[in-house]
Structure 1
């Protein structure tokens, strides 16, 4: 059994005594894991992180760290490192002084402090920058100092709130790998908050998807992408084709869904109600087969090509399928039929194991 480091038990948070930002959070975070809290703004992910850090107090419930309740423990006594988006470095201190600060407040001896600072600088490859001031560093370097400062006192837990939000795409992707590799090397437990699903999938051992103050699903990245448990998760993680219909029949794990214009689809019955009730079908664009490749598929239809969107290594083809005008097929460039043109009507299909019958989307989505 993996050892649990952090435990949220029935945690709620309300700012006005009426609406709950966090509804009834029960979550165990395992020692040494990289867990990401992912969700749109206002979903409760940052509030949950801030309660764990001690900057917010739960309205109800208990948060435990290493088996002891944190409710009355002030932030600086929680043995937690923090990295924020805005770095929060002290501008009047050098890099080395910034790193030494959390150690000095903890009453460490001078020799221990300089030893640890040296180690932390080497860890983020900034050995040569010890005497510089934050203003003399680039954004990426500042973020690495902030990271080193959160790790320098060797906390058992590090919390990161959108730490890469301010960086450009290339640097951001580089830092994602840096943080992931640091985590693997140090074995520290990381709780990471982001609204960027690509970042969550790339970095995490597990991802908790938040929506309206509740965890919708918590799973390893691949499971989350391949096996979303509801329509919100299917839409929020990666690209997703949606077709609306009604449940015609159900047979164990499979079901048949009638679309709005009468076509029938055989699908996995993941999250469906009674026969006759509405369902949303979810199909990933890379799972749809075109032309001859569709001949062996369980579900076969035709689509009219509406648009090509070129993305370098692959192409997104937008088609009109079963009455939906925004049905996407993703194809590697190497597999794209060069003769395919806008206006063509082509056979397409997908296997039953690649289409999930889920809850209907609420009106207005």
Structure 2
């Protein structure tokens, strides 16, 4: 990636509130022009603090933040040319929708007729053309969030920051707004940095996702890359559903390794993030990659499992099994492939291919 493609750069940024605990530790991150980047992680992982430092509402304890050629961490928030969308909308209740959207243009000294033009365009973009005269209190949560979005985009900032903007909406509206924001982003080509703790939201919307844990980025990749190729156990467990089998490393040969499970079974896997022979390993296998009964015969890894439970989810079924001493081993099957004869307590063969098992660091229990 050439330097000219980078819009924002965090360089060795740290943040501590008490001088002892680092909320963000040694953050190095390049955000590309025009990309939709999501900062994803559990609460307390440092993602929101990183966003607030970029917005100017927090100051780094050490390190630098750059926007293009300009050092940003010394510039006050209102001079950063950044649009912001928060979860609580932060609209002015005493102003109409049009006045709310016009506000960033007004403070920038834009002329009245140009303001009217830009406001009209911005409201059109979020499909609220007819709502300019209403007050925020007369609108639903989803409509208010659209107004907040229009306000963040109206002055054509090069960067828009969104902090859990859909957190207060119900599931259906939330999913609708995810696509809406994604389409607006594609149309405008503006750079978006988005914070969420909802992994499916991150996978749906983003070009790239940075997974935060304990103040550090664990992995930054495309949604598909994170899901299919997690680089450690935290990412494998945090993104999507994941089967985890604990074992010890028996041997390694090039890119693959053999792992011994607690009851003596051995499994072959991709060697991704492992120690020396004999050291503990956590195996990661996605539920949809596992084959049952006859379909498992061609698989390199084969074990048996006892069916414990069926959970029907409309288009697919989750089958919970006891496998290798683990009673939370889940297999996902499309309804069309489900064997209707299968019942609880059946003991069946199951298997998966080497490339669908990743040998990773052992699970930290803290």
- 3-state SS of the aligned residue for 2:28? strand
In the alignment, which of 262, 286, 296 is matched to residue 264 of structure 2? Answer: 262
CA distance in 2, matches of 1:67, 1:262: 58
Residue matched to 1:168: 170
In the alignment, which of 337, 343, 348 is matched to residue 345 of structure 2? Answer: 343
Residue matched to 2:231: 229
In the alignment, which of 226, 242, 265 is matched to residue 244 of structure 2? Answer: 242
Residue matched to 2:187: 185
Residue matched to 1:62: 64
1:109 aligns with 2:83: no
CA distance in 1, matches of 2:103, 2:150: 12
Residue matched to 1:5: 7
Matches within 5 A, 1:1-365: 1=1, 3-364=5-366
When structure 1 is superposed on structure 2, of 55-64 and 66-75 the one drifting more is 66-75
Question: Shift of the alpha carbon at 1:363?
Answer: 2.9
CA distance in 1, matches of 2:248, 2:346: 29
Unpaired runs of 5+ residues, structure 2, are none
Question: Shift of the alpha carbon at 1:72?
Answer: 1.4
Cα displacement string for residues 44-77 of structure 1 (whole angstroms, at most 9, x for unaligned residues): 0000000000000000000001121112100010
Question: Shift of the alpha carbon at 1:318?
Answer: 0.1
CA distance in 2, matches of 1:137, 1:362: 46
Cα displacement string for residues 228-252 of structure 1 (whole angstroms, at most 9, x for unaligned residues): 0000000000000000000000001
RMSD value, Cα: 0.6
Query: Residue 54 of structure 2 contacts residue 73 of structure 2 at CA under 8 Å; is this kept in 1?
Result: no
Question: Shift of the alpha carbon at 1:362?
Answer: 1.5
Cα displacement string for residues 257-295 of structure 1 (whole angstroms, at most 9, x for unaligned residues): 000111000000000000000000000000000011000
Question: Shift of the alpha carbon at 1:217?
Answer: 0.1
TM-score by length of 1: 0.99
Q: How many positions carry a matched residue from both structures? A: 364
Cα displacement string for residues 2-52 of structure 1 (whole angstroms, at most 9, x for unaligned residues): 510000000000000001000000000000000000000000000000000
Unpaired runs of 5+ residues, structure 1, are none
Query: Residue 271 of structure 2 contacts residue 360 of structure 2 at CA under 8 Å; is this kept in 1?
Result: yes
CA distance in 2, matches of 1:24, 1:312: 45
CA distance in 2, matches of 1:67, 1:324: 53
CA distance in 1, matches of 2:162, 2:24: 19
| 4+ runs deviating over 4 angstroms | none
Cα displacement string for residues 329-351 of structure 1 (whole angstroms, at most 9, x for unaligned residues): 00001110111100101110000
CA distance in 2, matches of 1:215, 1:67: 24
CA distance in 2, matches of 1:68, 1:208: 23
CA distance in 2, matches of 1:214, 1:362: 16
TM-score by length of 2: 0.99
Query: Residue 15 of structure 2 contacts residue 23 of structure 2 at CA under 8 Å; is this kept in 1?
Result: yes
